[in-house]
């Protein structure tokens, strides 16, 4: 007798459990809906982009670049003769930066910049020029400590790459076209390049001047190092005995941006 009543009791229990769960789910949704709408109205995706100017306290590796004296005996990386040096104290890069807020506190952006050192010296028969260029490209995850204020405090890090190039050449001011393309003029010259990973943790301030204009001041420390054997000749042939060069340094970046 008991077994004959079990299917009927089970059939009554299933719809009751379904209705019970649906009822409580409806009450839960009804309770969360106003707060969900309010949070959506309180926040909207924002961001900005604009020109950026950075100052890097980079000191070139004197051991790695000591061979530059082969171009000219007086060529130096020190401050002994400013006319014959690649200045290794401050490097200024110019570029552009953009960012967007994915939530009131979290955001992501992109940063890129380009800078160079250049030095030339005239000898009795030629002009010697050495050029060092550095580019930086990276993504920026960022955290805002006090979102919604006119002056915000931000913490973040730039993760990217740093292509660098070092070139040197001697040029005779009196050279003729035919002499240049025929290779009949003796000259010394080279161009080497390398790639370094970039990590730039930073702390900064974001000031909203108006609804559509703002400025950011960031400062931190950049980690970037070219490993041994990573330099390449003319961007192709590897130079296996090339030295490691560390470009890690303090830096500061200033950005004027327009918001959206």
Q: Give the tens place of pLDDT for each residue, 42-76.
A: 556 788 999 999 999 988 887 788 888 888 777 77
- Supply the range of the domain harboring residue 108: 43-259
- Highest mean predicted confidence (pLDDT) among 44-48, 166-170, 198-202: 198-202
Residue 77 shares a structural domain with residue 35: no
Burial of 99 (0-12, 13-18, 19+ CB in 10 A): buried
**d(C-alpha 96, C-alpha 229), whole Å:** 31
Q: The domain spanning residue 241 has which CATH number?
A: 2.40.160.20
Residue 38 shares a structural domain with residue 157: no
Residue 198 shares a structural domain with residue 136: yes
The tokens for 258 are 């327009």
The tokens for 249 are 């340094």
Overall size of the chain counted in residues: 260
Q: Is the pLDDT of residue 214 over 90?
A: yes
Kindly give, in sequence order, each residue whose CB lies less than 8 Å from that of residue 140, ignoring residues fewer than 6 positions away. 97, 99, 108, 109, 110, 111, 156, 157, 158, 159
Residue 27 shares a structural domain with residue 129: no
**d(C-alpha 207, C-alpha 215), whole Å:** 5
Residue 51 shares a structural domain with residue 151: yes
Q: Is the pLDDT of residue 1 over 50?
A: no
The tokens for 230 are 């990573």
Residue 9 shares a structural domain with residue 117: no
Residue 90 shares a structural domain with residue 7: no
Kindly give, in sequence order, each residue whose CB lies less than 8 Å from that of residue 157, ignoring residues fewer than 6 positions away. 140, 141, 199, 200, 201, 202
Residue 100 shares a structural domain with residue 153: yes
Q: Give the tens place of pLDDT for each residue, 114-153.
A: 999 888 888 877 888 889 999 999 999 999 999 888 999 9
**38 pLDDT tier (thresholds 50, 70, 90):** very low
Give the lowest-confidence range in 5-14, 17-26, 154-163: 5-14
pLDDT value at residue 94:
97
Q: Specify the number of domains making up the chain.
A: 2
Calculate what percentage of the chain has a pLDDT beyond 90: 47
**15 pLDDT tier (thresholds 50, 70, 90):** low
pTM beyond cutoff 0.85:
no
pLDDT value at residue 54:
96
Residue 25 shares a structural domain with residue 119: no
pLDDT value at residue 73:
79
Q: Give the tens place of pLDDT for each residue, 67-77.
A: 888 887 777 77
pLDDT value at residue 18:
63
Residue 37 shares a structural domain with residue 62: no
pLDDT value at residue 159:
97
CB 141 within 8 A of CB 170: no
């Amino acid at each position: 007798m008991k077994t004959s009543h079990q299917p009927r009791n089970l059939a009554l229990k299933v719809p009751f459990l379904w209705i019970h769960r649906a009822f409580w789910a409806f009450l839960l949704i009804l309770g969360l809906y106003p707060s969900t709408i309010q949070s959506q109205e309180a926040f909207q995706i924002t961001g900005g982009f604009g020109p950026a100017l950075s100052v890097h306290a980079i000191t070139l590796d004197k051991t790695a670049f000591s061979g530059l004296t082969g171009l000219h005996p007086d060529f130096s990386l020190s401050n002994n003769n400013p006319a014959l040096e690649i200045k290794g104290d401050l490097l200024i890069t110019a570029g552009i930066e953009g960012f967007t807020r994915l939530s009131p506190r979290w955001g992501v952006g992109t940063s890129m910049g380009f800078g160079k050192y250049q030095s030339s010296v005239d000898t009795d028969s030629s002009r010697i020029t050495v050029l060092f260029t550095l580019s930086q490209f990276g993504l920026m995850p960022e955290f805002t400590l006090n979102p919604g204020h006119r002056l915000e405090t931000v913490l973040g890090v730039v993760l990217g790459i740093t292509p660098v190039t070092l070139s040197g050449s001697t040029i005779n001011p009196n050279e003729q076209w035919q002499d240049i393309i025929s290779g009949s003029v003796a000259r010394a010259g080279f161009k080497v390049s390398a790639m370094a990973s970039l990590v730039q943790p930073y702390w900064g301030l974001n000031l909203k001047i108006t609804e559509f204009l703002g400025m950011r001041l960031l400062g931190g420390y950049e980690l970037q190092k070219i490993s041994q054997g990573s330099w390449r000749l003319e961007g192709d042939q590897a130079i296996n005995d090339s030295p490691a060069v560390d470009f890690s340094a303090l830096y500061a970046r200033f950005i004027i941006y327009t918001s959206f």
